[in-house]
Amino acid sequence: MTRKKILDYFTIDNTPGGNQDWLSEWDMNMGGCAAVTACDLCIFLARLSHNERYRKLYPFNPENLSREDFMSFSSIMKPYLSPRYHGIDFLETYICGLYDYLRSAQNDDTLILEGMSGNVPYENFAEAVTDQIDRDLPIPFLLLNHRDIKLDDFQWHWFNLAGYDENEDGINILTVTYGEYKWFSLRNIYDTGYDRKGGIIRIFERQL
């Protein structure tokens, strides 16, 4: 089977998504990756034409994105997903923080958030990833420790998935972080070599 899907991800200053390196607050610059992925998700949703409710998720103009507005938005998101000593290293912590922001900004429960641990069987994990991207939604992904040194920059880090490419050799996923796209093998990222794993945030649109 051959399948490929890449989301129409937004750009700021000609780079994909927001960039943690832009953030001037030292704690956000060092540990604001969860908040950055949440900001990206909200901007992505605010730009969707099929649901006006999502427009409330981004307090600036989603059709005229700028680095300055993104930095301001990250400060708004910070109280909900603030950096901490061990990072936001549990899916439940991320979900609770993002839910609080969504309710404050949107004042309804249009979105349903569910965590899926990286400890589930690979087939289930891969199906959840491709399903969400097929539904035109990015995926916040938490990677904890990993044995592969090529993933050093992604360890203990939140980033978004914005596409996949499935062929006879497996599934590759397109990551977005630090204003860059990078492709990786989903099987390799899943197979961390450690008992404790991160996982993904599954997002569903409630039928109202």
The CATH code of the domain that includes 133 is 3.90.70
**How many distinct structural domains can be found in the chain?**
1
Cα three-residue angle 199-78-145, rounded to 5 degrees: 30
Q: How confident is the model at residue 208 (pLDDT cuts 50, 70, 90)?
A: low
Question: What is the domain range of residue 126?
Answer: 3-205
**pLDDT of residue 29 exceeding 80:** yes
Instruction: Collect all residues with Cβ–Cβ distance below 8 Å to 206 and sequence separation of at least 6.
Output: 109, 110, 111, 112
% pLDDT > 70, the chain: 99
Give the strand pairing for 111-117 and 15-16: unpaired
Beta bridge partners of 183: 174
Instruction: Collect all residues with Cβ–Cβ distance below 8 Å to 47 and sequence separation of at least 6.
Output: 10, 62, 63
As to burial, measured by CB atoms within 10 angstroms (0-12 exposed, 13-18 middle, 19+ buried), residue 157 is buried
Q: How confident is the model at residue 48 (pLDDT cuts 50, 70, 90)?
A: confident
Average pLDDT, stretch 169-188?
97
Q: What is the mean pLDDT of the chain?
A: 95
